[in-house]
Amino acid sequence: MLTNPEHQLYDEKVRPLPRPRWLVLGIIIGYLVFVGGYLLMWEHLPEFQLILNRISWSSADFISIAATALALYSYFLLERYQKNADIAYLQRFVLELKKSGIKPEDIGTVLSFAKEIDPGFKQRLEKVLKRIARERMEGLAKLDEDELYEVLRSLRT
């Protein structure tokens, strides 16, 4: 729904994230070429075997470079994911639900209830809820520090 252009909340277009298929394929092909080239040089250039012996130790370097490339790619995907406007909207939406005390298992009930409220009743309900919240805040303001501490400590989050 949020990636549908009709329901787009921001002006940016949401682009699909690239898949790591080509990076992994490139690393595998690169490693096979490295090992194949190394073995061919070992067989056909015996005078360079001392140098090639030193190079054989660096095959671990190839693996570490490949692992670093995958880690950087994963970081790139994470950064791109975090900067996506729809993801930012969803994070704010979920944070507001969490602040409201709505549990994930109750979201369906809340949304179905909210759909059924007619606009006039919704306005009256919001007005009454604000009034109740104001009265509770005024009541809390009258408490001294120890009483306020006990009340707030007894609340469950």
Q: Which domain holds residue 126?
A: 117-157
Q: Is the pLDDT of residue 65 over 60?
A: yes
Q: Looking at the structure, do residues 1 and 76 belong to the same domain, yes or no?
A: yes
- For residue 56, count CB atoms less than 10 angstroms from its CB and return exposed for 0-12, middle for 13-18, buried for 19 or more: middle
Percent of the chain at pLDDT exceeding 90: 1
Asked if 9 and 85 touch (Cβ cutoff 8 Å), the reply is yes
Residue type, 154: S
pTM: 0.36
Residue type, 133: A
Q: Is the pLDDT of residue 1 over 50?
A: no
Residue type, 46: P
Q: Is the pLDDT of residue 19 over 50?
A: yes
Q: Is the pLDDT of residue 27 over 60?
A: yes
pLDDT of residue 15: 59
Q: Looking at the structure, do residues 138 and 62 belong to the same domain, yes or no?
A: no
Number of domains making up the chain: 2
pLDDT of residue 98: 81
pLDDT of residue 3: 47
Among 26-30, 36-40, 95-99, 110-114, the minimum mean pLDDT is found in 110-114
Q: Is the pLDDT of residue 51 over 80?
A: yes
Question: Domain end: 63, 83, 103, which one?
Answer: 83
CA distances from 82 to 77, 87, 91 (A): 9, 7, 10
Q: Which whole number is the average pLDDT over 43-65?
A: 80
Q: Which contacts (CB < 8 Å, 24+ apart) does range 105-109 have?
A: none
pLDDT of residue 13: 59
Kindly indicate the confidence band of residue 120, based on its pLDDT and cuts at 50, 70 and 90: confident
Q: Looking at the structure, do residues 136 and 77 belong to the same domain, yes or no?
A: no
**CA gap 24, 26 in Å, rounded:** 5
